Amino acid sequence: MRKYIPYIVLCFTLIVSIIFNVLLIVKSDKKAEHIFNNSIYSIVEIKASSEDVGESFGTAEFIGSDGTLITNAHVITYKKMGTYYTFDNLNIRFSFEENYRSVSLIKYDNDLDLAVLKLDDLKCNFKPISFGDSSNIKNGNGVYAIGNLNNAGLSITEGIISNADIQVTYDGITRNVIQCDLTIADGNSGGALLDLSGKLIGITTFRLKDNKGNVIYGISYCVPANTVLGYI
């Protein structure tokens, strides 16, 4: 019997380890589900359009009880002959709606890549998103991103912070941003980077390309929430 004891102990340890890991996965799934469901009145799809230009899609977050929202400037502007113009029509839509609601442009800053909008008709249920302190985030912290990925509706992805404070030059502008090991795509622009408690710590903004012009997948860059607060 004694010669089997090490094997029994090993088997018991493996079983406990498997159960523990399964519980962690289930707990993580439930947390992601809770954060997503808790955000559907705070995070919306956005569509910008002009008849002679076309359409641009992205994501926005309610940041004030007066119906103000934040998104990326590049979602609501386009560049022509070196000059920036704003789209004529700006609209948002909740993930559970079919029809869009009109919003007005309050201000935008292409250097920060931020834009403030305001919902025209406040006769709807929305909830301003809760801000976290982006100066407290650390490399390796877990994060979630919610956005209108590929203009297919709101979805949630999970990752970690690769570098909490890094300078990156994109489109000729150098910014202090958060680098994340996170999957985003067209439509995620202006979306929410959330900590594990569901608080906004950044705005998902861009991806880089390699020396052949191909998008580098799995690495994303976000405007810190404290930069957003300093702008609004």
Task: List, by residue number, the catalytic residues.
Answer: 74, 113, 189
Six token digits for residue 9: 């102990």
Q: How far apart are CA 211 and CA 129, in angstroms?
A: 37
Residue 29: HSE in the Cβ half-sphere, 13 Å Cα cutoff: 6
Computed from CA positions of residues 172, 140, 197, 133, in that sequence, does the dihedral angle turn out positive or negative?
Answer: negative
Burial class (CB in 10 A: 0-12, 13-18, 19+), 38: middle
Q: How far apart are CA 177 and CA 120, in angstroms?
A: 31
